Amino acid sequence: MVKWAVPVGGVLSREFCLKRGSKYSKDIGKLGRKMERVIHIDHDATAVELHPENSIVITAYDGDDSDTELLDLIEFLKAAMHAPDVRQFIKKYGGDSNVGR
């Protein structure tokens, strides 16, 4: 098990989602947290469309042991913890899968 030293505050289940066709959009606003402190990491661009300013879209994990995409984000996430507003931090450094590299 890897200790990331980054707080993970929740996982969104279907009750937090809006169905759009065959896809789901996750409404992180329903978490009841300050939006300037929430980062949503997902592989599905549809899932993050309600709050793109809070989101980092990564490629889907397919079981490849050499996939380090989440590990590559650790230092970015640690730095984002100290930003007054993570949305501005994401905007400054980009919200795509290259953000941690």
Domains and CATH numbers, the chain: 14-93 (3.40.50.1000)
The C-alpha atoms of residue 52 and residue 96 are separated, in whole angstroms, by 11
**pLDDT tens, residue by residue, 24-49:** 899 999 888 999 999 999 998 999 99
Q: Does residue 66 surpass a pLDDT of 70?
A: yes
Q: Could you tell me where the DSSP H helices lie in 9-73?
A: 69-72
Cβ atoms of 68 and 35 within 8 Å: the answer is no
Under the banding of pLDDT at 50, 70 and 90, the label for residue 13 is confident
